[in-house]
Chains A and B, each alone.
Chain A
């Protein structure tokens, strides 16, 4: 009964989405106010229905309703409760429903936080999101309905893939999807602007915080996935350039470009066409990612739930959504104005160069990801494109980007001078070079790549410090306050930018250190055997058999000591899940600020001895700390006073029915 309610709610949600999409947009185009006013209530209704539907599916999981096909395919009665709830998005059908739920959530958020926006704009934005919902719900209902029954019911389920039974993987997909779906807001704003024909700086200001929030979630989602791979796959790799990883990385690269280009459009009114195109691309790439993951056109370690028939449907959906928006773009974009004037050397130029580099990087990843498919469909043979390719084309594109990251914030809008910037950044350059020369020797081994990595890291750090100091010197007002207080009195969006940049530096530091100075040993250990690396001694104290809720495991015990003093005890496991009988490696990690100690259990070799892999990974946690700082930077930026004040004052003005935006708008349009 409950699954039927869920199914019915899903159908109702589809109907509402149709109204939301068609009526709101038609209303805005025809200028019918009562139609436009339907946008907000329909967004709420959509969220309610999709929420009920999602709730029903979760209920089916929690109550072990094995008459529902989807529940049988990804759950099991022995599965712990938290994984049963997470198993809802553990397979294809449920992931789609989660997508739709999140889309509903974003739409509702737009409806709620857009009180001060012109009604026409709001109804267009909500309408576009409604049309996207229609597409997703059609896809769900026709090719992948999670509520399909299984008659007769199964006795028990086939269980959730053991790889996914992990706290990291409980939250990784939702975060990633929030990011993916979040770009639909920027997309909808762009389409609304194209439809309405009003594209100005206010448009950029409205869509900027939404874009940043989506970017934050995508950053966290990707980062969490990488962290999961690190501790779950048993050898501590954290990025494999797998097609599915690339699928999430593509919108991230374009999204990052979009965040920067929105700054140019908002502050200077320039390059609106380009910004609009990026907004369309960011979401298009999110959809393409879904297609690549779900259709099975590419082989990937993550290729669960693939089906060519679904592929045809998603491809059709892609064609409709992306094709029509690019066609709209081709039609409307030529009429958009130029925006403010600036010189060849100016912050605008640096930001645009950053955009070129990011988009080219995205193009390179896309090319590498699709190239095997391209050759195969032309009948030119089969090839594989893997990490060696991506490493060798990606790095040369990132080096200038990171360099510009230090330069860009130093340049003034409109007009800057290179000698002036060079002068102001000279000691940042000096710090970077000195560190590049010294650090490899401190670490005990010189390598060109490590040196480059350190140079970039400290270039980012030092140039940020220089920039913040300059900014503080310019605002000497409360010079008596403490340094930290003075730093935190700077605008949040400014701090956010630097936090994000410093996050990149932290990330590079982690990557450089672990790539160059990691120590790995694959040992045969008997009870009492020791192995020493990085100043730590690891002693193997044997293996015991333990029973988990739905698995059996061999658990090794390894005592780690330093200078004879115990540091920690690590318990790496080798699990065998009962239902899918899949061996899983659970590495044991002692995480530290400057190093991770990483132990994974291999196979029993002979009488009591096991093969054990021990790793010393310097600075590896900086990789994820860096991405977390980037995300924090994004959050700081959206919490800027400017948005709150702008929102508040615009709300007031809206009440007085005077167009206040018009004032700043008029100057921008000049």
Chain B
């Protein structure tokens, strides 16, 4: 059924193509000003739709998201900067609306944490490697001749086993 309908649709499309494209004209963008819209979307991408589960107001079609987006649009048109617009939103809805948390006392750990963790991780790794070298230094110096003989012997027998 589905196949049939899509086949017929393709057929119809091919037929349509045969007809000289009289009506064909360039479509118009939904936004009156696509350049403005791009800026609006960049800002809207940073803002959380408060009534949605976890979406930006750029991605959401909820009423509030549409309202807030048009508010952003108005403000961009008035020549407000991105920071001013985000401040405006934060004043009204709190930091919750920002997907990029602000740098402040309660979020230092959030922003610095990963790099602090990296620093600690690498330091621990290097210290550990140094310590290992000291600890395993003598004990594992090298295999004694007898030991290495035994090892080659073992490897040989394993190999033969594998072949069989």
Contacts and interface: CB of A to CB of B under 8 A. Distances in A.
B63 interface: no
Given A363-B117, A529-B24, A383 B17 contact: no
Given A364-B113, A375-B106, A380-B106, A352 B99 contact: no
A524 interface: yes
A526 B27 contact: yes
B88 interface: no
A559 B17 contact: yes
Contacts of A612: 27
A299 interface: yes
A541 B23 CA distance: 11
A167 to B, nearest CB: 13
Contacts of B16: 541, 559
A530 interface: yes
A197 interface: no
Which of B12, B17, B122 has the most CB atoms of chain A within a 10 A radius of its CB? B17
A340 B140 contact: yes
B81 interface: no
Interface in A340-361: 340-341, 343-344, 349, 352-353, 356-357, 359-361
A503 B29 CA distance: 38
Interface in B104-156: 106-107, 109-111, 113-115, 117-118, 121-122, 125, 129-130, 132-133, 135-137, 140, 143, 147, 151, 154
Given A299-B54, A521-B29, A522-B29, A393 B114 contact: yes
Contact of B6 (A302, A357, A571, A611): A571
Contacts of A529: 24-27
Contacts of B117: 360, 363-364, 367
A654 interface: no
A242 interface: yes
A341 B137 contact: yes
B132 A389 contact: no
Interface string B34-66: 000100000001101000111110010000000
B97 A384 contact: yes
A566 B17 contact: yes
Contacts of A349: 129
B136 A388 contact: no
B106 A300 contact: no
A540 B24 CA distance: 9
A557 interface: yes
Given A340-B140, A540-B27, A571-B6, A384 B99 contact: yes
A546 B1 CA distance: 12
A397 B113 CA distance: 12
B29 A523 contact: yes
A299 B26 contact: no
B59 A235 contact: yes
Given A382-B94, A393-B114, A611-B30, A649 B24 contact: no
Contacts of B25: 528-530
A649 B158 contact: yes
Interface string A534-562: 00000111000010000000000101010
A645 interface: yes
A383 B30 contact: no
Contact of A528 (B24, B55, B129, B130): B24
B28 interface: yes
B14 interface: yes
Contacts of B147: 667, 670
Contact of A566 (B13, B22, B26, B37): B13
Contacts of B91: none
A569 B99 contact: no
A383 to B, nearest CB: 5
Given A397-B118, A524-B28, A529-B26, A301 B125 contact: no
A303 B53 contact: yes
A356 B53 contact: no
Contact of A386 (B28, B48, B162): B48
B158 to A, nearest CB: 7
A525 interface: yes
A384 B101 contact: yes
Which of A528, A532, A611 has the most CB atoms of chain B within a 10 A radius of its CB? A528
Nearest to A585: B61
A100 to B, nearest CB: 28
B99 A385 contact: yes
Contacts of A240: 54
B121 A359 contact: yes
Nearest to B11: A569
Contacts of A396: 115
Contacts of B158: 649, 660, 663-664
A243 interface: yes
A381 B27 contact: no
Contacts of B162: 645, 649
A363 B121 CA distance: 11
B137 to A, nearest CB: 7
A649 B161 contact: yes
B160 to A, nearest CB: 10
A393 B13 CA distance: 48
B4 interface: no
A447 to B, nearest CB: 15
Contacts of A611: 30
Contacts of B10: 569
Given A233-B59, A397-B114, 8 more contacts: A338-B132, A375-B107, A384-B98, A388-B46, A393-B111, A397-B118, A527-B23, A670-B143
22 contacts: A338-B132, A341-B132, A353-B122, A356-B122, A360-B121, A383-B98, A397-B118, A523-B27, A523-B29, A524-B28, A528-B22, A528-B23, A529-B26, A529-B27, A530-B26, A557-B12, A566-B17, A612-B27, A649-B162, A660-B158, A663-B154, A667-B154
Interface of A: 233, 235, 237, 240, 242-243, 299-303, 338, 340-341, 343-344, 349, 352-353, 356-357, 359-361, 363-364, 367-368, 371, 375, 380-389, 392-393, 396-397, 521-532, 539-541, 546, 557, 559, 561, 566, 569, 571, 602, 605, 611-612, 645, 649, 652, 660, 663-664, 667, 670
Which 7 residue pairs spanning A and B have beta carbons closest together?
Answer: A386-B99, A528-B23, A364-B114, A388-B100, A529-B27, A356-B121, A341-B140
